[in-house]
Every structure is written in structure tokens, then in C-alpha cells.
């Protein structure tokens, strides 16, 4: 006992003086020297438990309440400069106090404690609190993954030296041994000398995730080749552009002819989506000068080779894409896109998802009655608006019509045995993939109106499925916490991406097809290498479930939207958040970048489409060179809010000519 007392005194002395290194060294010494059975006693957390048991007889539940209350009052009254750093400590202490109480079986006290102090954290951690509220017995802590990981891992909190000192002094002065124990056991302080950090860093730190920040940082150090593929169609256009610039139409004509063009494009049978990047073509029109200036600012990424064998594009399709690219409307903060809205009516609350083909001519809806319905918008336009100029429709256009075409205007595709949660068109518009609660993904042909393949592999509902930008490959995301890569010709998945701690809710391909991004209910977004199946980036910052993802056409940025209406723009190479976009006040269902990457559109459950300026932010970051603290000025700005008539927007799609298509359901109670 004497020896332990001495050890304790030495330790407190070292702590008081702030001799961190010495303290650690001392611990190691002690551990080495002591015998096998005394290791347990002397290892760090147990030591604090020892102190605890010495000072107090048994575990008094009221102790937690009292000490946490003290810490809270002290923190709130602390110096403004250090307050926000100290406030960060409160949440983990609160969580662990509660779980300690639960673990020791004081259910009633735990509940009282939780309800007394939950308000403080309601704003930032509402969802975590809701989850934890249900933890009511020691077995739940083991069973519930979230609670379990919280118990297993330490929370990293960055702090300046002085804040740390203040905190320790306070805890010692008030003899808050319980809290001190928790702080020692659960929190890993990263003490940095100098001034306290900025409040804006908060977002990264306060999220409690299973993986430690270190691990995430380690992963994020891996190299990501976000450059575009070699020899894209746009490159070819660039070469051809010099020759054709004389014959190029003035911009105004292009806009007028947009509708015609869309109709005509249908006649060509849809085309392949190409990876698109910031357009560099030399246009004689005045607006292009600015665009060129921007392309100079953004350093061109090194071109990469595709890691997957990519399908070959038919020549005539290639031609039509080139034609589209030539006629593309240049969008910028001053020239906003035209938006064509497709509204679903009479859905009786059963539409789960919608998807728009690349040229906007086909619209698919997945319904909770297991059906998938496809509308041919060109045909619809024919019936409805007689005054809009009609493009002559070739005889070669496939007629998509139900058996009793006169009555209903859509093609009914039946095959799933559960609600259809997602649908995606192939880049050429000839295939549709749909994913459903029946754990399968099905491939449909829009030409034959029939189901071709049923892909079984997931064990739980498949939330999302996305075709790759070049077709043939697709990715799926499921409740079974995995994302999988498939190719159309195999019924087994090619890769399984496992690592998320909760449902994988959405998936998106990178423009160069070598990566996929997944968003999850564990509030992180991850980037995976398709070839190796490894996780190469973890993006931490969202405070609720991720619902939508979009990749910028230049391959450099990624946007993600969550349940609260926050959109975050990420830099893929650094893994950092460029800027959070606030504006929506409900779920962001869909995101889309314009083809040259200057604008982003977001559609939300609050019945609006918002247009954001991307170029201003990217310029800002390149100038400050990822100095992310100085980036507040370069926040992405909202250019325009387009409210719909009580129609939550389910999907958005920029056509190759930069016409924006939006789809949503007219709903009464929004």
C-alpha cells in the first residue's frame, strides 16, 4: 500500500506541474518494474480507478451528477477565449458519465442524469442522444454498436496548453475524481502550444466515431489520383474545336434551340455519358474568356489510365456526344441554367425514387408497390404542349408504351418483390438498374421493356445503385453495411467494400471510374479504390445521415448532402471540407454538378432547387493553397433558390448541353 501511495503522489505531482513526458515515462517505469499481477493495477485507466476507489467508498450515482454539474458550470463561466475548447470536453464526459451509470446498473439515476443535461448537447448531437437514450441496461451497451464503439475508443480533443491546464486544475481543485477518471480514461488530449484553435475546427473534432481520428488521418494520407482519364471525348473536341470554331453557333442560338435539340437527341437513341471536365474549348463568344481564366487558375490534374477495362463506344454515339459538347451552354454565376421540372402526380405517396436519363427523355420512378415505371417524356411533350416546336421523330425511335397505351402513359416494369429504392439509367439510356428491399438489383432493357438480369448478393435491402459514367459497371449500397461493384455480365459482385459502421445509404462514381464514394448513416463519406477495394479517404464532418453525393466533372471535388439540409464540399486530394453550404432546411435528396463544373444544383425535401456557385470557392482554395482556416471568405455561395409548388425534388440531372432536369412528387402535406 505504501508503494502505491508513493506512486500516486509522484503522479499527481507530475500532473500538477504539467510534466507530461515525465509522467508517461514514469508510468512505463512503474509498469515495467511491477510484477505480473500488478500490471493491471498500475496501467493508466485502472490507476485512476484506484484513485477513485481510494477517495470514495463505492460508486455513488449522485457523484456523477454532482461532478458533471460542477464541471459544466465552471466551463460555462470560463474565459471566453478558452471556452469553446473546454466546451468540447463536456460532451464526451456527459456521454461516458451516462454510460458508466448504465453499466453499473443505476438505470433510474442514469435517466435522471441524462434528462437533466441533455439539452446542452441537443443541438449538435441530437441523433446520437436519441440513440443513446435507448441504452438502458449493461447488455445494451455491448449489443448496440454505437455505444460499444464509444466505450472502446478514445475521443481525441485538440486543446491548447493553457486550456488543458485550466481543466486539470479545476478537476483537481474540486476533487472531481469521477470526472477526472473519465477524462483520463476516455479522452485523448492533443495538447498544442500557443493560442487556442478556431471555433470552425469544431466540426471535425466533436463527431464521435468508431474509427479514431488517427486512423482516418492515416487513411487520408493515401494518394488519390483524381485526374481525368486520358484521351476523353472533350480532348478530342478540343483538337477539333480549332477547326470548327468558325462554324460554331453563337451562344444565343444554342439556348433557343435547346428544346429542339433535346427532342432530336432522343431520335439518336441517347448517348453515352462521358467524363466531363472544365471545358477548355476556345469559343469566340465573350463569355468564354472568363472560363479560360479559371481553367488556368485550377492546376490541371495529371491524367490517369483507367484501371478497369472500359467498354468501347460506338462511333455514331461518339459523334452525337461531340455535337452536344459543341452546343453546350456555358453556365456561370451570371448565366444560370434553364430548369425543366418533371412532376409526378397521383403517386398516392408511393414513389420512392426517380431517375432521369442523360438526355432527359426518359424518366423512371421506383414505387413502394415493387413496380418500376418509365415515362417517355418526348411523347408526353407531344400530347401536352402543342405550341412548343416539335422535332420530327424518326421512325427508328422505340415506342415505349404499355399494352393499353391509350390509358396510361408509362411502361410498367414488374419483377421486384419489395419497395424499389433506387433506379439509374445507363449512360446510353438503353438500360435501367433498379434496387429494392428484396435485396436484389435488377437490370432492365428500355428497348425490350423486359427484365434481363437479377443480381443477388446483398443480404439486406439495397438502398442505392449507380451506373458508372462509362456504363457496364455499377455500384450498389445496402443496409448490410457494404457497397459492391458489379459488372453487367456477371451475377456476382466484383468487389465488396466493407468498413462503414452503419448502412451505406448512397453511392457515386468518380469521373474517372477508378473510385467510388459512399455515404452512410454513420455520418461519414468514404472514398474507395475500385481496383483494390480499399478505403482511401474518410470524410468526417456531417452531423446526420448522408443522403446524396455528387462528383465534380473535373474529378477534384465531391459534394455530399445530409438529412439536416447541410451540403459539404470536399476536396478529394486533401480529404478536407472546402466549405459547408447551409441553406436547405430539410433533407437534401439530390445533388448535381453542371457539365463544365461551374455550378452545382441541389434538390431538397423543402421543395426547392438551389443553385450554387462552385468556381468562386475553388478559386479561393487554390489561392490560399488549402489553408483551410482562411477559407471563410470563399464559402460557396447560393446563386438562386427556385421554389417549386409543394414538390420535394427527388432527382436532378444536367444534360450534356447543360439543361437541368428536375423530378419530384407533387405532395399535399408539404
Q: Which residues within the stretch 453-482 sit at the binding site for other proteins (CB under 8 A)?
A: 460-461, 463, 479
Q: Side-chain half-sphere of 387: how many Cα atoms within 13 Å? A: 0
Interface positions, 278-337, toward other proteins (CB under 8 A): 333-337
Out of 24, 54, 62, 136, point to the residue binding other proteins (CB under 8 A): 136
Residue 148 touches other proteins, criterion: CB under 8 A: no
- Give the nearest distance from C-beta 480 to other proteins in angstroms: 10
Q: Which is nearer to other proteins, 47 or 135 (CB)?
A: 135
CA torsion sign for 223, 224, 227, 231 is positive
Q: Which is nearer to other proteins, 263 or 277 (CB)?
A: 263
Select from 35-43, 154-162, 169-177, 361-369 the region that touches other proteins (CB under 8 A): 361-369
Select from 9-17, 210-218, 401-409, 620-628 the region that touches other proteins (CB under 8 A): 401-409
Q: Side-chain half-sphere of 37: how many Cα atoms within 13 Å? A: 0
Select from 85-93, 133-141, 154-162, 482-490 the region that touches other proteins (CB under 8 A): 133-141
By CB under 8 A, the count of residues binding other proteins is 87
Interface positions, 581-600, toward other proteins (CB under 8 A): 583, 586-587, 589
* Closest C-alpha among 530, 441, 536 to residue 494: 530
β-pairing, 608-613 with 473-478?
A: unpaired
385: number of Cβ within 10 Å: 11
Residue 344, classified by CB atoms within 10 Å of its CB into exposed (0-12), middle (13-18) or buried (19+), is buried
**Measured CA angle at 541 (ends 575, 217), to 5 deg:** 40
Contact assessment for residue 28 and residue 7, using Cβ atoms and an 8 Å cutoff: no
* Closest C-alpha among 314, 220, 219 to residue 271: 314
β-pairing, 450-456 with 462-467?
A: unpaired
- Give the nearest distance from C-beta 539 to other proteins in angstroms: 19
Q: Which is nearer to other proteins, 138 or 311 (CB)?
A: 138
Interface positions, 57-86, toward other proteins (CB under 8 A): none
Out of 351, 517, 577, 595, point to the residue binding other proteins (CB under 8 A): 351
* Closest C-alpha among 358, 345, 354, 398 to residue 373: 354
- Give the SS3 label for residue 199: helix
Select from 13-21, 23-31, 192-200, 347-355 the region that touches other proteins (CB under 8 A): 347-355
Residue 642 touches other proteins, criterion: CB under 8 A: yes
Q: What is the CA radius of gyration of the chain?
A: 29
Residue 53 touches other proteins, criterion: CB under 8 A: no
- Give the nearest distance from C-beta 276 to other proteins in angstroms: 21
Contact assessment for residue 585 and residue 565, using Cβ atoms and an 8 Å cutoff: yes
What does the CA dihedral 377, 383, 389, 394 come to, rounded to 10 degrees?
A: 60
- Give the nearest distance from C-beta 377 to other proteins in angstroms: 6
Interface positions, 601-640, toward other proteins (CB under 8 A): 605, 608-609, 611, 637-640
Interface positions, 176-235, toward other proteins (CB under 8 A): none
Distances (CA, A) of 11 to 8, 34, 154, 232, 497: 5, 16, 21, 64, 46
Cell reading at 610: 438551389
C-alpha span between 482 and 501 (Å, rounded) = 9
Select from 219-227, 304-312, 376-384, 441-449 the region that touches other proteins (CB under 8 A): 376-384
Distances (CA, A) of 64 to 98, 102, 172: 8, 12, 15
Residue 113 touches other proteins, criterion: CB under 8 A: no
- Give the SS3 label for residue 603: strand
- Give the nearest distance from C-beta 629 to other proteins in angstroms: 21
- Give the nearest distance from C-beta 10 to other proteins in angstroms: 43
Q: Which is nearer to other proteins, 234 or 376 (CB)?
A: 376
Q: Which is nearer to other proteins, 559 or 611 (CB)?
A: 611
- Give the nearest distance from C-beta 14 to other proteins in angstroms: 42
Residue where the block lists cell 427523355: 361
Select from 14-22, 37-45, 81-89, 125-133 the region that touches other proteins (CB under 8 A): 125-133
Residues comprising the chain, all counted: 670
- Give the nearest distance from C-beta 57 to other proteins in angstroms: 27
Interface positions, 415-434, toward other proteins (CB under 8 A): 419, 421
Residue 349 touches other proteins, criterion: CB under 8 A: yes
Q: Which helix (H) or strand (E) holds 571?
A: strand 567-571
353 phi-psi bin (left φ>0, alpha ψ -120 to 50, beta other): beta
Out of 113, 473, 509, 650, point to the residue binding other proteins (CB under 8 A): 650
Interface positions, 502-561, toward other proteins (CB under 8 A): 503, 505, 521, 545, 547
Out of 140, 148, 172, 236, point to the residue binding other proteins (CB under 8 A): 140
- Give the SS3 label for residue 626: coil
Amino acid at each position: 500500500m505504501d508503494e502505491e501511495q508513493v506512486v500516486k503522489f509522484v503522479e499527481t505531482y507530475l500532473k500538477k506541474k504539467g510534466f507530461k513526458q515525465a509522467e508517461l515515462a514514469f508510468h512505463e517505469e512503474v509498469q515495467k518494474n511491477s510484477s505480473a499481477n500488478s500490471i493491471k493495477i498500475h496501467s493508466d485507466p485502472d490507476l485512476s480507478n484506484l484513485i477513485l476507489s481510494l477517495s470514495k467508498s463505492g460508486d455513488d450515482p449522485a457523484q456523477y451528477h454532482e461532478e458533471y454539474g460542477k464541471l459544466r458550470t465552471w466551463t460555462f463561466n470560463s474565459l471566453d477565449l478558452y471556452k469553446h475548447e473546454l466546451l468540447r470536453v463536456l460532451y464526451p464526459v456527459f456521454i461516458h458519465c451516462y454510460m458508466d451509470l448504465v453499466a453499473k446498473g443505476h438505470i433510474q439515476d442514469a435517466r435522471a442524469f441524462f434528462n437533466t443535461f441533455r439539452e446542452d448537447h441537443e443541438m449538435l448531437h441530437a441523433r446520437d442522444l436519441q440513440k443513446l437514450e435507448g441504452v438502458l441496461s449493461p447488455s445494451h451497451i455491448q449489443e448496440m454498436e454505437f455505444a460499444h464503439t464509444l466505450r472502446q475508443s478514445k475521443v481525441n480533443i485538440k486543446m491548447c496548453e493553457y486550456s488543458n491546464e485550466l481543466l486539470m486544475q479545476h478537476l483537481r481543485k474540486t476533487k472531481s475524481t469521477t470526472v477526472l477518471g473519465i477524462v483520463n480514461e476516455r479522452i485523448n488530449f492533443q495538447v498544442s502550444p500557443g493560442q487556442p484553435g478556431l471555433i470552425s475546427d469544431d466540426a471535425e473534432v466533436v463527431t464521435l466515431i468508431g474509427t479514431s481520428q488517427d486512423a482516418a488521418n492515416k487513411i487520408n494520407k493515401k494518394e488519390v489520383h483524381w485526374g481525368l482519364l486520358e484521351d476523353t471525348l472533350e480532348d478530342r473536341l478540343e483538337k477539333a474545336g480549332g477547326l470548327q470554331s468558325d462554324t460554331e453557333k453563337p451562344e444565343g442560338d444554342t439556348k433557343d434551340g435547346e428544346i429542339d435539340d433535346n427532342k432530336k437527341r432522343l431520335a439518336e437513341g441517347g448517348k453515352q455519358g462521358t467524363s466531363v471536365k472544365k471545358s477548355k474549348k476556345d469559343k469566340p463568344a465573350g463569355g468564354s474568356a472568363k472560363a479560360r481564366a479559371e481553367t488556368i487558375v485550377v492546376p490541371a490534374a495529371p491524367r490517369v489510365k483507367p484501371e478497369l477495362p472500359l467498354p468501347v463506344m460506338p462511333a455514331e454515339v461518339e459523334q452525337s456526344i461531340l455535337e452536344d459538347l459543341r452546343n453546350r451552354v456555358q453556365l456561370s454565376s451570371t448565366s444560370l441554367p434553364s430548369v425543366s421540372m418533371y412532376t409526378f402526380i397521383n403517386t398516392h405517396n408511393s414513389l420512392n425514387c426517380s431517375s432521369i436519363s442523360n438526355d432527359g427523355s426518359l424518366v423512371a420512378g421506383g414505387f413502394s408497390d415493387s413496380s418500376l415505371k418509365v415515362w417517355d417524356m418526348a411523347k408526353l411533350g407531344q400530347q401536352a404542349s402543342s405550341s412548343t416546336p416539335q422535332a420530327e421523330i424518326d421512325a427508328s425511335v422505340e415506342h415505349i408504351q404499355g399494352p393499353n397505351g391509350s390509358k396510361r402513359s408509362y411502361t410498367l416494369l414488374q419483377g421486384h418483390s419489395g419497395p424499389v429504392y433506387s433506379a439509374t439509367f445507363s449512360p446510353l439510356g438503353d438500360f435501367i438498374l433498379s434496387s429494392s428491399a428484396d435485396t436484389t438489383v435488377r437490370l432492365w432493357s428500355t428497348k425490350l421493356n423486359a427484365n434481363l438480369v437479377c443480381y443477388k448478393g446483398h443480404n439486406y435491402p439495397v438502398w442505392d445503385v449507380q451506373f458508372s459514367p462509362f456504363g457496364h459497371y455499377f455500384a450498389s449500397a445496402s443496409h448490410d453495411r457494404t457497397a459492391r461493384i458489379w459488372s453487367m455480365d456477371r451475377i456476382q459482385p466484383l468487389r465488396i467494400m466493407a468498413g462503414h459502421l452503419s448502412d451505406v445509404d448512397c453511392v457515386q462514381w468518380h469521373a474517372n471510374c477508378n473510385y467510388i464514394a459512399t455515404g452512410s448513416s454513420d455520418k461519414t463519406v468514404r472514398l474507395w479504390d475500385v481496383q483494390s477495394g480499399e478505403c482511401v479517404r474518410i470524410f468526417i464532418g456531417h452531423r446526420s445521415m448522408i443522403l446524396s453525393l455528387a462528383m465534380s466533372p473535373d474529378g477534384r471535388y465531391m459534394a455530399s448532402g445530409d438529412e439536416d439540409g447541410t451540403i459539404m464540399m470536399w476536396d478529394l486530394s486533401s480529404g478536407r471540407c472546402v466549405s459547408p453550404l447551409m441553406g436547405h432546411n430539410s433533407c437534401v435528396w439530390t445533388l448535381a454538378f453542371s457539365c463544365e463544373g461551374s455550378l452545382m444544383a441541389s434538390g431538397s425535401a423543402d421543395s426547392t432547387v438551389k443553385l450554387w456557385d462552385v468556381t468562386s470557392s475553388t478559386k479561393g482554395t487554390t489561392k490560399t493553397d488549402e489553408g483551410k482556416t482562411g477559407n471563410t471568405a470563399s464559402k460557396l455561395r447560393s446563386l438562386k433558390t427556385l421554389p417549386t409548388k409543394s414538390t420535394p425534388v427527388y432527382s436532378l440531372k444536367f444534360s450534356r448541353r447543360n439543361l437541368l432536369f428536375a423530378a419530384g412528387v407533387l405532395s399535399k402535406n408539404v
